[in-house]
Structure 1
Amino acid sequence: MALPEKMKFGIFMAPFHRINENPTLALERDLELIQWMDTLGFDEAWVGEHHSAGWETISSPEIFIGIAADRTRHIKLGTGVISLPYHHPLHVANRMVLLDHLTRGRVMLGVGPGALVTDAHMLGIEPNVQRKRMDEALEIIMRLFTETEPITYVSDWFEMHEAMLQVRPFTKPHMPLRWPRCARRRGRRWLVSTARRCCR
């Protein structure tokens, strides 16, 4: 009889900071927490993205992960989440592949539509289009990770003309992915189910 798989332990860091707290010290505390988790053998840490409200003050999980990766050796580091409607898909794919190489495969990509209405308002995005834009951007990011031919795509909110990644992912075929609704590939389409699952 096979032994059960080892239970994994991790943390989701929005992260929450007290309003008017010294942001430099708060961010240093977040980094130190991940360092301790790495020392104690935790498996993963997820770092959020927000742009308003004043207490979730990491605006770029990728930059934060880059610093955390340099201070740790084993723990996997994930974006929890990159809000895809706020970013051009080519930028997201390129930044994540860069982190995939810099961390030697310790990075994980978590994406979502964006949770704070105030974030979307500041960026001039209607909240009712965020889920559709997340799905559309995710499909393009997956194509950039897996296809080697240039991609031309015109959307109502971004365009790509003969776009391709300069560098292929370090992790083959790409880093682990997490998103609110699980998708599976059929031909050239991503079929999205209603289950909240994690997919590799």
Structure 2
Amino acid sequence: MHSRIGLFLSPVHETGQDPHLAVRRNLDLVEHADRLNFDEAWFGEHHTLGWGLVGAPETMIAAASQRTGQIKLAHGVVPLSGHHPFHVASRAVHLDHLSRGRYILGVGPGVPFDAKMFGLAPDVQRRRLDEALPTVLELVNGDSRITQKTDWYELQDAKLQLPRFNPHGIEVAMATSGTSSSSPRLVGKYGLSMTSFALPFALMTPGAPDHIGLAQQWKYAEESADEHGRTLRREDWRIALPVHVAETRAEAFADVREGYDRWLFEYFGKAAGREVISPDTPRERALEARVEAGGALVGSVEDVVQGIRRMQEATGGFGSLLVYVADWTSYEKTNRSLELLARYVSPQITGSAARPQEAVDWAVASRAAGR
């Protein structure tokens, strides 16, 4: 039974703590999510700014595959501008085997902070993504040998020796964010899945719904799919944003307020050097501003259910919600939030709670009717 909820682990962790334990925490969290019947867990790749400690997500996915039984495990994402396409494809197929078909290959151009360290300008990142993507797709899910020469890699009659574990092929997803049409158009061109980040939109635009930008991303992808004779399915569209659930709205905001402030101002503000809040928004209302803008879901079970339904309506519908785990609160409260999502939020979104309730209603009605 699908929950339509997954995890997105950038993963970010506050500085000042033991990095080893922080890395191990991510594996524990995925194991917890697996027990709670979460559908997916995504691992990001970061090499700068101190908070994002995982630079080799394929190793985390490999480790998680041995700790879990049903949850899908995904790259979130491989920056194709910084990896040889053959190595990307080879790792993907190996992870497909290690996970017994539970692996998803997420791809994108890469984050600008890492690209700067590697000497890659934004236009070079985008060009390399365009060059490498069809090559990776053929190596992973095709059967032809590839000969190709670019200014940054060369292949001569290249083909993987290891067959795919999954005979239907490995799912490939493209990361999208912001208002750019480039990545959504690649989704449509190649018929990929799409993973959209609501995270960046609300940093400076309190009161402006993120959902508008998300809906535009899907529109770009559909337009491109029509141009290239492809068909996209909304059930293959994932939206990632921070989510925290507690028994009451007040408790949920109290749980994450201090951690959110440090994440926003220390990580995005200080480390990344971004303008993180509108001049019209007091710092003490930064969390409320993000939630109001649609850049996070924080509250009770009913608050979060209503928030997801608003997103579904405003975007026209999407397949899965990825919970961006931002380390805003204690491990115990994060675990409890995930449990509330799995036990009470997901059933209302998927409708899985309806059938047991229907049985109760039928029994009561039958007695009243003397049946």
TM-score bracket for this pair, using the shorter chain length: 0.7 to 0.9
Q: Of 25, 33, 48, which residue of structure 2 is paired with 1:37?
A: 33
Mapping 1:131-142, distance limit 5 Å: 131-142=126-137
In structure 2, what is the equivalent of residue 80 of structure 1? 76
Contact 1:145-1:173 at 8 Å conserved across structures: no
Provide the C-alpha distance between the structure 2 equivalents of 1:15 and 1:38, rounded to a whole number of angstroms: 17
- The structural deviation recorded for 1:50 is 0.7
- The structural deviation recorded for 1:108 is 0.4
In structure 2, what is the equivalent of residue 149 of structure 1? 144
Instruction: Report the AA paired with residue 156 of structure 1.
Output: D
Instruction: Name the SS for the 2:63 alignment partner.
Output: helix
Query: How big is each residue's C-alpha offset from its partner over 1:39-75, in whole Å with a ceiling of 9 and x where there is no partner?
Result: 1111101110011111011101111100011111110
Change (3 A) 1:123 1:72: same
Q: Of 142, 155, 160, which residue of structure 2 is paired with 1:165?
A: 160
Deviates more, 1:166-175 or 1:153-162: 166-175
Work out whether 1:195 is the aligned partner of 2:221.
Answer: yes
Q: Of 88, 105, 121, which residue of structure 2 is paired with 1:126?
A: 121
- The structural deviation recorded for 1:22 is 0.9
Query: How big is each residue's C-alpha offset from its partner over 1:116-172, in whole Å with a ceiling of 9 and x where there is no partner?
Result: x22112112112221221122111011112333321100121111111101121113
Which stretches in structure 1 are left out of the alignment for 5+ residues?
A: 187-192
Instruction: Name the SS for the 2:156 alignment partner.
Output: strand
Provide the C-alpha distance between the structure 1 equivalents of 2:134 and 2:23, rounded to a whole number of angstroms: 32
Which stretches in structure 2 are left out of the alignment for 5+ residues?
A: 177-183, 192-218, 223-233, 238-371
Provide the C-alpha distance between the structure 2 equivalents of 1:6 and 1:77, rounded to a whole number of angstroms: 15
Instruction: Name the SS for the 1:156 alignment partner.
Output: coil
Provide the C-alpha distance between the structure 2 equivalents of 1:83 and 1:149, rounded to a whole number of angstroms: 24
- The structural deviation recorded for 1:194 is 2.9
Provide the TM-score with structure 1 as the length reference.
0.87
Larger Cα Rg: Structure 1 or Structure 2?
2
What is the CA RMSD across the aligned residues, in angstroms? 2.0
- The structural deviation recorded for 1:6 is 5.1
In structure 2, what is the equivalent of residue 14 of structure 1? 10
In structure 1, what is the equivalent of residue 20 of structure 2? 24
- The alignment of Structure 1 onto Structure 2 pairs a total of residues equal to 188
Instruction: Report the AA paired with residue 99 of structure 2.
Output: T
Change (3 A) 1:155 1:29: same
Instruction: Report the AA paired with residue 143 of structure 2.
Output: T
Work out whether 1:183 is the aligned partner of 2:179.
Answer: no
In structure 2, what is the equivalent of residue 190 of structure 1? none
Instruction: Name the SS for the 1:136 alignment partner.
Output: helix
Provide the C-alpha distance between the structure 2 equivalents of 1:6 and 1:100, rounded to a whole number of angstroms: 20
Q: Which protein is richer in helix relative to its size? A: 2
Provide the C-alpha distance between the structure 2 equivalents of 1:28 and 1:171, rounded to a whole number of angstroms: 28
Provide the C-alpha distance between the structure 2 equivalents of 1:174 and 1:152, rounded to a whole number of angstroms: 22
Instruction: Report the AA paired with residue 188 of structure 2.
Output: A
Instruction: Name the SS for the 2:220 alignment partner.
Output: coil
Work out whether 1:109 is the aligned partner of 2:135.
Answer: no
Contact 1:150-1:162 at 8 Å conserved across structures: yes
Change (3 A) 1:11 1:151: same
Instruction: Report the AA paired with residue 149 of structure 1.
Output: S
Q: Which protein is richer in strand relative to its size? A: 1
Counting aligned pairs with the same residue, the percent is: 43
Work out whether 1:61 is the aligned partner of 2:87.
Answer: no
Contact 1:85-1:133 at 8 Å conserved across structures: yes
Change (3 A) 1:185 1:22: closer
Contact 1:34-1:45 at 8 Å conserved across structures: yes
- The structural deviation recorded for 1:89 is 0.3
Change (3 A) 1:140 1:103: same
In structure 2, what is the equivalent of residue 90 of structure 1? 86
Provide the C-alpha distance between the structure 2 equivalents of 1:146 and 1:32, rounded to a whole number of angstroms: 31
Query: How big is each residue's C-alpha offset from its partner over 1:87-115, in whole Å with a ceiling of 9 and x where there is no partner?
Result: 00000000000000111101101011012
Provide the TM-score with structure 2 as the length reference.
0.48
